[in-house]
């Protein structure tokens, strides 16, 4: 016969799993030891055009978060100004995309994977113990003739 089953064990395993996932989401996939005390710099794309007269900043998921147009840029004419603005926006979005790809490429889920394997093994053992306890209880009831 198996020992007493902790009914809160499965809930504890689920809580540990959710906690591990939460830590990795908050840290961008980095382990606690890799984090710094300072918050991470927000992800931002940046580009200049028209010899620095136009500055564009972009932010996820692909929106323009800021634009500076030097008054001298207006003298370029509407057609050239439109081309320079388009160029700056596209370059800033490309910069944002490159930075996003760099961040996601650095994500290492090996520690999370190990934690989840441990949680899975423990949860499996807990389920086995619970099932064995149910089988033992059923056998005891059957041996007593249903009384």
Using alpha carbons, list the distances in angstroms from residue 67 to 63, 85, 87, 107. 11, 9, 13, 31
**Structure tokens of 17?**
């799993």
pTM beyond 0.75: no
Q: DSSP assignment of 83-123, as one string?
A: HHHHHHHHHHHHHHHHHHHHHHHH---HHHHHHHHHHHHHH
Checking if the pLDDT of 87 tops 90, the result is yes
Q: What is the mean pLDDT of the chain?
A: 78
Tell me the Ramachandran region of residue 52: left when phi exceeds 0, alpha when psi lies from -120 to 50, beta otherwise.
left
Reported as a pLDDT band with limits 50, 70 and 90, residue 136 is confident
Checking if the pLDDT of 100 tops 90, the result is no
In terms of pLDDT, which residue wins out, 109 or 81?
A: 81
Reported as a pLDDT band with limits 50, 70 and 90, residue 126 is confident
Checking if the pLDDT of 12 tops 60, the result is yes
């Amino acid at each position: 016969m198996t020992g007493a089953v902790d009914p809160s064990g499965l809930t504890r395993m689920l809580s540990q799993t959710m906690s591990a996932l939460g830590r990795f989401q908050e840290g961008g996939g980095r382990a606690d030891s890799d984090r710094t005390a300072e918050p991470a710099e927000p992800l931002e794309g940046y580009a200049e055009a028209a010899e620095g007269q136009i500055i564009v900043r972009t932010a996820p998921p692909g929106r323009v978060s800021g634009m500076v147009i030097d008054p001298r840029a207006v003298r370029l004419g509407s057609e050239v100004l439109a081309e320079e603005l388009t160029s700056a926006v596209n370059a800033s979005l490309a910069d944002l995309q490159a930075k996003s790809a760099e961040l996601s490429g650095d994500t290492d889920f090996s520690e999370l994977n190990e934690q989840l394997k441990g949680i899975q093994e423990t949860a499996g053992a807990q389920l086995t113990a619970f099932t064995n306890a149910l089988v033992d209880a059923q056998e005891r009831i059957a041996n007593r003739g249903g009384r």
